[in-house]
Chain A
């Protein structure tokens, strides 16, 4: 049985809304002088009279977190924005202190809440490797030993004596991550930092993370990217409102998370989509983003239940931040286990295929029609992929759901329940023999 290397007991963190104090000595003195003269404080919050304001009010960013992590485990942490994931990591990495509770840690901790912390533009790549490495907790001799490896990993050997201000953003990130990747702590805390750089580099990073985990090191990994979590973690913790909702094997936690966050209506907003996106995503410098996904009927009314004869329209509104070529938009109808039932591709239709080929920066609305008389009676889900080859591949799994009520064809009900595809297909009927002759043969 591996030993416990992180033990969190009753951990809570309280924050106050707004600013504490007035922030300037001048105003504090002014308030004090006003109070001394029994005059109204010129800096008093106006909301105080109308009711409780947010200022100075407290809230719990984390409440009573308990968990243990064993040596060599890779623990994923997921949850909506504001669920307390980052606060937890900040406490573990000692950037801030808890309000209550205890964290006990065995072994050296390194945290990666950002890549390239402390990089100085005037310094050369080499100097920054040393600076960044020591900030992250390495000693100089450790860096001496790993320097060649770090440079090789970053792939910018040629520019290592160039000030980083002349680097492209990609080179910068590669060098920064290379340093981080060669930290050799017993415990590594990672917050969404993989989400930088291009696809190939992200793959390299994920591989490196897997190696780290494979060497018996403990990793705590926060991500919005369910794909990466699935890939790396066997156990995942779901946080919501500062509490641990579930701490279970990854597939179970992700299923619960997605289930919890099913969108009720027929419209998924950008924010709702953002919380569920997976795939390969450039966070810092996005190319493509979903803005809204809607299911609606022929009249343009958003709906989530349809009769089987009705056409179902799916609108995908997305934004291009740069001019892009050959983007691929796929809409899948999937079942509750995310198994695809049907798929369609933006360039299937020759009428608009060319228009999709090259897109200038802007916001676009792509609509596809799932024709009536296709589905059987059951609940379906939509999964949408948006891909800019070799750069970004954004996936939203089961973002919306819709119900189909099977109406039957020709006013004859024909058992459409719980069948995925129930189209009206051609039938033929041939009479092979007639009357008594058939019976005689038997």
Chain B
């Protein structure tokens, strides 16, 4: 036994047939941290080089959606906004949701989009979705500033809303969204290596998912007996938490938070397991 141990220590790298379910090479991921930062930089730079409208679009898009939602859901359908002015209410849902949705959409084609590079050189594949989640923070930051601008405008206009101390937990919320979208994204990206048409289903599914995430309909309108079931959607909890911390309204309780974190972690681990399965054999099937 001692003999084999010494043998194993001698080698820096042992390549074995794929087996094992949970093998993310976290050490490798750390060693390649420069790569993550360069991927982020690449996406950032190319984004600004390609289009003038790009950064502006980040502002136009949520504003337009907010206006549409306010007109359709608040004014016409008369759906409750928990006493928050419609524009603020919808914007506060759209901003975190947009971060989540774009992370999910972009990470979900990790394998297909990077097949060229993945086939030529080894680096921890997980660096790609991780960098996507980071680069989207830039966009999120821009939209948060937009939101703060709106909020100040409304407060100045005499709105009684005030942020609560929970706002200090905002980084935790962002972290949860990052983890969730990363988990769901790699899960989907692993599946798309087998089922290419999932890519088309994805954008549609993300749209539908939004309507079940408190962006439009607040959780307070969900019947009591369905509440915990509703909160199995971690994004619903995240959006409610966000609203609660900035406006002091919304459904927030420890059970809901626990449920949403449990689901988030389950998705992350499920995603990682599938991803690490696929990353080894992926090149043989493309």
Contacts and interface: CB of A to CB of B under 8 A. Distances in A.
Interface of A: 7, 15-16, 19-21, 23-26, 28, 90-109, 111, 113-114, 117-118, 120, 122-123, 127, 130-131, 134-137, 139-140, 163
Contacts of A135: 35, 117, 121, 123
Contact of B11 (A20, A97, A104): A104
Instruction: Find the residue from A93, A108, A118 having the highest chain B CB count within 10 A.
Output: A118
B160 to A, nearest CB: 48
A52 to B, nearest CB: 21
A105 B12 contact: yes
25 contacts: A20-B285, A24-B196, A24-B197, A25-B195, A94-B15, A94-B122, A96-B284, A98-B15, A101-B17, A104-B15, A105-B13, A105-B14, A106-B10, A106-B11, A106-B12, A109-B13, A113-B121, A114-B120, A123-B45, A130-B38, A134-B32, A134-B35, A137-B123, A140-B34, A140-B37
Nearest to A94: B122
Interface of B: 10-18, 32, 34-35, 37-39, 41-42, 45-46, 49-50, 116-123, 194-198, 201, 280-281, 283-285
Contacts of B37: 140
A104 B13 contact: yes
Instruction: Find the residue from A98, A107, A135 having the highest chain B CB count within 10 A.
Output: A135
Given A24-B195, A98-B17, 5 more contacts: A15-B284, A20-B285, A102-B15, A114-B121, A134-B35
A134 B42 CA distance: 12
A135 B125 CA distance: 11
A283 B11 CA distance: 37
B17 A99 contact: yes
A91 B194 CA distance: 22
A122 B44 CA distance: 11
A382 B35 CA distance: 51
B121 A93 contact: yes
A91 B15 contact: yes
A222 to B, nearest CB: 14
A122 B45 contact: yes
Contacts of B197: 24-26
A131 B16 contact: no
A37 B283 CA distance: 35
A58 to B, nearest CB: 11
A98 B45 CA distance: 38
Contacts of B118: 95
A98 B284 CA distance: 11
B35 A113 contact: no
A328 to B, nearest CB: 36
A123 B44 CA distance: 11
A117 B15 contact: no
Nearest to B48: A122
Nearest to B192: A25
A151 to B, nearest CB: 18
Given A113-B120, A122-B50, A96 B281 contact: yes
Given A98-B17, A106-B11, A122-B50, A23 B195 contact: yes
A28 B41 CA distance: 40
A120 B46 contact: yes
B123 A127 contact: no
Contacts of A7: 11
A25 B201 contact: yes
Contacts of B34: 134, 139-140
Contacts of A23: 194-196
A106 to B, nearest CB: 5
Contacts of B12: 105-108
B280 A103 contact: no
A7 B16 CA distance: 12
A97 to B, nearest CB: 4
B38 A134 contact: yes
Nearest to A114: B120
Contacts of A16: 284
Contacts of A134: 32, 34-35, 38
Given A24-B196, A25-B197, A105 B45 contact: no
Contacts of A91: 15
Nearest to A12: B17
A118 B43 CA distance: 12
B122 A93 contact: yes
Nearest to B118: A95
B198 A25 contact: yes
B64 to A, nearest CB: 28
B38 A97 contact: no
A389 B37 CA distance: 45
List 3 A-B pairs, minimum CB-CB distance, nearest first: A94-B122, A25-B195, A103-B15
Nearest to A108: B12
A7 B14 CA distance: 9
A120 B194 contact: no
Contacts of A26: 197
Contacts of A140: 34, 37-38
A109 B122 CA distance: 10
A165 to B, nearest CB: 10
Contacts of A15: 284
Contact of B15 (A97, A111, A123, A137): A97
Contacts of B280: 96-97
Contacts of A103: 13-15
A95 B285 contact: no
A155 B202 CA distance: 46
A216 B196 CA distance: 46
Contacts of A109: 13
B251 to A, nearest CB: 35
A285 to B, nearest CB: 20
A43 B182 CA distance: 34
A15 B283 CA distance: 11
Contacts of A123: 42, 45-46
Contact of A92 (B15, B35, B285): B15
Given A24-B197, A28-B195, A120-B42, A104 B17 contact: no
A95 B121 contact: yes
A95 B283 contact: yes
A25 B201 CA distance: 10
